[in-house]
Amino acid sequence: MPTFAVSEEKNKWLKEKMESLNIREEDILEKFIRSSGKGGQKVNKTSSCVYIKHIPTGIEIKRMKDRSQSINRFLARRELIERIERLSGKLTNEDIKRLKAKKQKQKRQKRAALKYKTPATNVASQAEGDIVNSNEDKSKT
């Protein structure tokens, strides 16, 4: 497996993940194409965009986020891992982040409800009780 222009930890993580999901380098078709967007002459001359296709699953990924071809190769493989995990039913890092954000939002809403709605309803019920009590006082006289 090739090493990429990222930390050794990330290269090691990628290798372990690919082995655990039975993704082999031989199963990946990789092409380098010219990126689009800003960059002028540099973009027009270098093939930093990476296109990979996982032949067994048919998943295609095109990555041109970074100016470096090596980093784009790493990012494309990382995205391939996430897509294969999602297909197999495992939670990906993106799914975990989404679930965490959802829980945090629910917790904030619950706190806000307790903070703002409960006292207001208590005040409203007390005010209604006062009105009822004052009506009772009037009816007694």
pLDDT tens for the chain, 141 residues long, are 788 888 999 889 999 999 999 999 999 999 999 888 777 777 778 888 999 999 999 999 999 888 888 999 999 999 999 999 888 888 778 888 999 999 999 999 999 988 887 554 555 555 555 555 555 555 555
pLDDT of residue 15: 92
pLDDT of residue 135: 55
Q: How many angstroms separate the CA atoms of 125 and 16, rounded?
A: 61
Instruction: Assess contact for 72 and 64: CB atoms under 8 A.
Output: yes
pTM: 0.66
Q: 């995990």: which residue's tokens?
A: 85
Q: Where are the beta strands (DSSP E) in the chain?
A: 28-33, 49-54, 59-63
pLDDT of residue 133: 57
pLDDT of residue 105: 96
40: phi then psi, degrees, rounded to nearest 5: 60, -130
pLDDT of residue 128: 56
User: Other C-beta atoms within 10 Å of 130: how many?
Assistant: 10
Q: How many angstroms separate the CA atoms of 40 and 112, rounded?
A: 50
Instruction: Assess contact for 86 and 93: CB atoms under 8 A.
Output: no
Residue 34 Ramachandran class (φ > 0 left, ψ -120 to 50 alpha, else beta): beta
- Hey, is 101 helix, strand or coil? helix
* CA 31 from centre of chain: 26
Q: How many angstroms separate the CA atoms of 45 and 12, rounded?
A: 32
